[in-house]
Structure 1
Amino acid sequence: MTQERPVASPCVHVCALDDADVCLGCQRTADEITRWGRMDNDERRQVLQRCAERAREQGVLI
């Protein structure tokens, strides 16, 4: 059985946090960015889903 490859980071190298500590580039919170390397793939997918939701709420993603 082959091991699943790690889910890639959504980082786009636009690293700036807004007033709510959410990155303007990838939409992850500071905590999610810090913990990313220790997350399993399921947790990473959940974070990516939340990032997409944040992007839609901010009008960054339609």
Structure 2
Amino acid sequence: MSAPERPVPSPCVNICALDDEDICTGCQRSVAEITRWSRMDNDERRGVLALCHERAKASGLVWMLPVRR
């Protein structure tokens, strides 16, 4: 029997300010995602983290290096 999975931690970085689209400029979560985080299961949390990463890339906060071929 394996131990239960640990909760996926919050991406909060204590820079809490909303942009014009109500997305936190620190963690890239929406207000709804922040509010629901404590009630989400780990699969939902991983989905939100993927959205946060996409938002960060789209806003230029995360730079992606081109893939060398």
Identify whether the pair has TM-score above 0.5, normalized to the shorter chain. Answer: yes
Shift of 1:41: 0.1
Instruction: Write 1 or 2 for the structure with the bigger share of helix.
Output: 1
When the two chains are superposed, the root-mean-square deviation of aligned CA atoms in Å is 0.4
Task: Tell me the alpha carbon deviations over residues 4-58 of structure 1, each in whole angstroms, 9 at most, x when there is no partner.
Answer: 0000000000000001000000000000000000000000000000000000000
* CA–CA separation in structure 2 for the residues paired with 1:32 and 1:24: 13
| Structure 2: gaps of 5 or more residues | 64-69
- The aligned counterpart of 1:19 is 20
- Give the greater-gyration-radius structure (CA): 2
| Structure 1 residues not aligned, in runs of 5+ | none
What stretches of structure 1 move > 4 A for 4+ residues in a row?
none
Larger relative contact order (CA 8 Å, sep ≥ 6): 1
Q: How does 1:1-62 map to 2 (within 5 A)?
A: 1-62=2-63
TM-score scaled to structure 2, two decimals? Answer: 0.88
> What is the aligned partner in structure 1 of residue 67 from structure 2?
none
